[in-house]
Structure 1
Amino acid sequence: MKQNKKGSISKRLPYILIVCALLGLLAAFTLTYDKIHVLQNPNYDPGCNINPVLSCGSIMKTEQASLLGVPNTIFGIMGYTALLTFGVLILAGGTFKKWVWQVAQVAALSGLLFMGYLFFQGVFRIGAICPWCFLTWMVTIPVFVYITAHNLENSIFRIPKSMSKISNIIIKNPVNIIATMYTIVVIILTYQFWYYWKTLF
């Protein structure tokens, strides 16, 4: 099992945040572009409509694609812009007080929970996978894991002694945790849409 060397999380963190933010912005802007065209022309066919399962268009037209009347992509652009700024400031040598990291943890957890909600709605309710949404799922996971590992390593939160072993596992094995979460996502998508995947062979 590949383990993390002490202190390497803080060194990796800004790069991970920046890369994930850029990928997230790419997905959010592309989806926003397609959303605008769908609103202007209901017959518009987004480039991410690949097959009956991999389809953005079918998801864009659902109520789950918006929150309080605002397209989810707008929240994505705002969130990933903030994440990019945060990552750049860290890379530039900026230091932050504990409360900033605590806010970052809440934001990362909120992003993960929202991702879980959209994942559930897309896979189990709508029955489709938006390729660009899939990309946002993939970047949300490492952001959450690495911010959590950083905060645990730097004692941003007080952790009960009974949780110290779990804390150490997260600190030492962020890559393995991310890989495990990715594997779970892939297994769910494979199982849920196997009726279609098997027709491709």
Structure 2
Amino acid sequence: MFQTPTTPDTPESRPVPGLSHRFTGFILLAAGLLGFVPSFVLAVEKYWLLINPFYSPSCTLGETLSCVPVMTSWQAEVFGFPNPYLGIAGFAVIAATGAALLGRAQMSHWYWAGLQIGVTFGTLFVGWLMYQSLFRIQALCPYCMLVWAATFLSLWYVTVESASRWSRNWTGYGRRLAHVMIRRHDIAILAWFVLVGLLVNIAAFNFS
């Protein structure tokens, strides 16, 4: 009889301890709601703007601090329909995942892999929209900025959880990186807000 070799149960073969499911669930639920609400409002405001071109959306706070230039640009419908529809669907999944984690649900690895892929592509798309808004359209959409924040929060904490889940297959630098990501998870959030703040100020200085 041949016996299938097994991996020794050592600290190096175990996943790096991650953040608590309760904490991750709370963050994802908050990020999901933070992104879902403005996405929904933008979708409604877009509808009213299509019906009435003179409609003034609730996010119109000034000449440059306004959603209208963004909502009426071609970038607002890259896939042939309003971008907020993507946000409504995507952030609903994020919020539901957070609620499930708070309820102590166990997410399978395939689900988490799919979620990781989804938030990664979503962040790339939102990053492109951010660039377009700041340096091409030259307008600041308050609701869009909430979506920016919600997107990065979702990406980062899904990635931190992924690092913990998959670290059992990592060695050396990979495991050390996972440790740093988990222990210093708040540093990346702070750095992102500082970076976006700088970009907004640079772009606003060049607004015509």
TM over 0.5: yes
**Structure 1 stretch displaced more, 165-174 or 119-128:** 165-174
What runs of 5+ residues in structure 1 fail to find an aligned partner?
A: 1-5, 197-201
* Structure 2 equivalent of residue 185 of structure 1: 196
From 138, 141, 145, give the equivalent of 1:134: 145
* Structure 1 equivalent of residue 11 of structure 2: none
State the SS of the aligned residue for 1:69.
coil
* Structure 1 equivalent of residue 61 of structure 2: 50
Aligned residues: 191
Letter in 2 for 1:71: P
Letter in 1 for 2:106: T
CA 1:119–1:159 in structure 2 vs 1: closer, same or farther (change >3 Å)?
A: farther
| CA distance, structure 2, for counterparts of residue 98 and residue 18 of structure 1 | 19
Deviations 1:49-105 (A, max 9, x none): 111221101111111001321100111111111112211122112112211111111
**Structure 1 stretch displaced more, 180-189 or 102-111:** 102-111
* Structure 1 equivalent of residue 159 of structure 2: 148
* Structure 2 equivalent of residue 60 of structure 1: 71
State the SS of the aligned residue for 1:8.
coil
Bigger-Rg structure (1/2): 2
What runs of 5+ residues in structure 2 fail to find an aligned partner?
A: 1-16
| CA distance, structure 1, for counterparts of residue 168 and residue 118 of structure 2 | 15
| CA distance, structure 2, for counterparts of residue 26 and residue 96 of structure 1 | 25
| CA distance, structure 2, for counterparts of residue 30 and residue 122 of structure 1 | 18
Mapped pair 1:38 → 2:49: yes
Conservation of the 8 A alpha-carbon contact between 1:98 and 1:156: no
| CA distance, structure 1, for counterparts of residue 181 and residue 188 of structure 2 | 7
From 113, 124, 127, give the equivalent of 1:116: 127
State the SS of the aligned residue for 1:32.
helix
From 92, 98, 106, give the equivalent of 2:109: 98
Letter in 2 for 1:52: E
| CA distance, structure 2, for counterparts of residue 23 and residue 115 of structure 1 | 15
Mapped pair 1:83 → 2:94: yes
State the SS of the aligned residue for 1:70.
coil
CA 1:179–1:41 in structure 2 vs 1: closer, same or farther (change >3 Å)?
A: same
Aligned-residue sequence identity (percent) comes to: 28
| CA distance, structure 2, for counterparts of residue 159 and residue 11 of structure 1 | 25
Mapped pair 1:15 → 2:19: no
Conservation of the 8 A alpha-carbon contact between 1:102 and 1:156: no
